[in-house]
A = this chain, B = another copy of it.
Amino acid sequence: MSGARFSKIYTSDLRVPAREVLLSNGERIRLYDTSGPYTDPAATTDVTRGLPARREEWILARGDVTGYDGRPVQPVDDGRPSAAARDEHAWRGAARRPLRAAGAPVTQLAYARRGEVTREMEFVAVREGVTPEFVRDEVVAGRAIIPANVNHPESEPMIIGRNFLVKINANIGNSAVTSSVEEEVEKMTWATRWGADTIMDLSTGRDIHTTREWIIRNSPVPVGTVPLYQALEKVGGVAADLSWEVYRDTLIEQCEQGVDYMTVHAGVRLAYVPLTARRKTGIVSRGGSIMAAWCLAHHRESFLYEHFADMCEIFAAYDVAFSLGDGLRPGSIADANDEAQFAELRTLGELTAIAREHAVQTMVEGPGHVPMHKIKENVDLQRDLCDDAPFYTLGPLVTDIAPGYDHITSGIGAAMIGWYGTAMLCYVTPKEHLGLPDRDDVKTGVITYKIAAHAADLAKGHHLAQAWDDALSDARFEFRWEDQFDLSLDPDTARSFHDETLPAAPAKTAHFCSMCGPKFCSMKISHDVRRYADEHGLSDSEALTAGMSEMSAQFRDQGGTVYLPLADT
């Protein structure tokens, strides 16, 4: 019965995907769908070939990009001594010549400023239930970004901004210690199946270039990276040997591959490094610590800070968005909201302004580890300093005493910071601080963050969010168990938990559950109250009270018990 109750549907001529749930009472509800063609029974997918380039036609139709040969891929891109060593995993699917701007910036921000509504804007307008003009205006204001590299035409456009549904990101990526290309691609499809709006590939081991190629070619959602990780690999892991040249080479490589947004730790300035010396947990951002090490080694201002305008020119040519990294974010409750953190945030505000001068879409990253009473200050200060650029936060964890449960410690902070105005939440899995997430951890992290994002949407009064809760509440009240499962963020788990206690098929249509058993069901009593009200045409409480004497007699006439069998509703 359950399989046929979902369908993948597409609306508008843009083929905007949605997950439609057919309820047993005949109602249908459409849910936001990030899973791409993989959940479409009519689509054929093959991860060795990649997804269809659905945006290619839109991009080319604008007539403002040109194809070119691109930077040759080199063995060092994968941390390999020679080309031969790469063969095992080499990407053999779709290989397009890279595109870049023929002249002026090709960013969604540049188009929006010219008053244009792009196909990408139309697409997200349908997804979000708003007008295309509203989308455009939010992009013009810098309050929202649509990460959409011209070299990632496989992606389904989405928008990140405080006036849209709160989004979540799932980090994947191998490390020097563990995991393979295949595992990472599977984690990507798995994470988007459960609701990840973007993916960040944070690989740090070998095969960085190749792993990323597999992920981007198969990803229906925007892909983010931290280019510094690969740049460091190219110089053998010695931070002092980093340079603008090797970093720039890495940016071009990743722009050509189709990375949609990149974390750039340009706010870690030389003068801020000493501010971390007395912290309880120093610098916990990998990118931040690498740049701090470079600044210390050279006693020079960060090359990322000094070359920020150069980066803007590159990003504008591909429509890569900045995710301005918070390299000095706190790594413990004790270090939250300190001088180092907020000094960097002020610099991120300056950089946001520079990026916007270059028409580059920009969001700003935030903490980390923050106790509940210090969360709101982060959002308020970021809005103020960064002129409402979308905020993108990691958690924050609201306590450090629960390793193994940091999806929960951070889910609490994520829900709150989302309510306060954060546009995208970077997930944390149960393995945070302990190890790399496996497939189950990825799912747990994604579901936890969907809860946080949705709770934030509800608290912000989003009508689509409330409708979803209402549909599930109705199903619960009316004992439509299958509907309740199907409307859940994780129908499989909801169904299996129910079946553990009441496995028999009739229990799924029963008008009670195992918590109270048939005799104690408060929902049944509520139905009696409502039925009396309906039968007597009583619509307000005064009238109801007035009619209660009569109702009381009827109630007793029907057996004097509240445990009447309920008619199906």
Contact = CB atoms under 8 A, between A and B. Distances in A.
26 contacts: A177-B517, A204-B516, A238-B560, A274-B548, A277-B530, A277-B544, A278-B539, A280-B470, A282-B526, A289-B526, A290-B522, A298-B552, A334-B470, A373-B459, A399-B455, A399-B458, A400-B473, A401-B454, A401-B487, A401-B489, A403-B497, A430-B497, A434-B497, A435-B498, A435-B502, A435-B515
Interface in A198-223: 204-205
A515 B174 CA distance: 9
A435 B524 CA distance: 17
Given A401-B454, A560-B238, A522 B288 contact: yes
Most buried by B among A286, A434, A458: A434
A354 to B, nearest CB: 24
A270 interface: yes
Given A274-B529, A516-B204, A371 B455 contact: yes
B515 A436 contact: yes
A518 to B, nearest CB: 7
A534 B177 CA distance: 32
A562 B204 CA distance: 16
B476 A523 contact: no
A518 B176 contact: yes
Interface stretch (A2-10, A249-257, A410-418): A410-418
Given A298-B552, A372-B455, 10 more contacts: A229-B520, A270-B545, A271-B545, A277-B541, A286-B516, A296-B548, A402-B490, A403-B484, A408-B448, A435-B502
B237 A563 contact: yes
**What is the interface of chain A mostly: helix, strand, loop, or mixed?**
helix
Interface residues of A, number: 140
A484 B528 CA distance: 54
Nearest to A300: B552
A409 interface: yes
A196 to B, nearest CB: 16
Interface string A437-458: 0100000000110111011101
Contact of A289 (B409, B518, B562): B562
Interface in A457-511: 458-461, 466, 468-470, 472-474, 476-477, 484-485, 487-490, 493-494, 497-498, 500-502
A443 to B, nearest CB: 11
A332 interface: yes
A314 interface: no
A298 B561 CA distance: 11
A332 B296 CA distance: 55
- Name which of A401, A447, A519, A548 has the most chain B CB atoms within 10 A of its CB: A401
A365 B500 CA distance: 30
A435 B522 contact: no
A404 interface: yes
Contacts of A229: 520
A276 B528 CA distance: 11
A282 B477 contact: yes
A514 interface: yes
A270 to B, nearest CB: 7
A487 B404 CA distance: 12
A472 B283 CA distance: 16
Interface centre among A339, A470, A553 (most CB of B within 10 A): A470
Contacts of A501: 177-178, 431, 434-436
Contact of A293 (B177, B528, B553): B528
Contacts of A447: 402, 405
A90 interface: no
A525 interface: yes
Contact of A451 (B270, B408, B436, B525): B408
A55 B553 CA distance: 51
Contacts of A461: 373
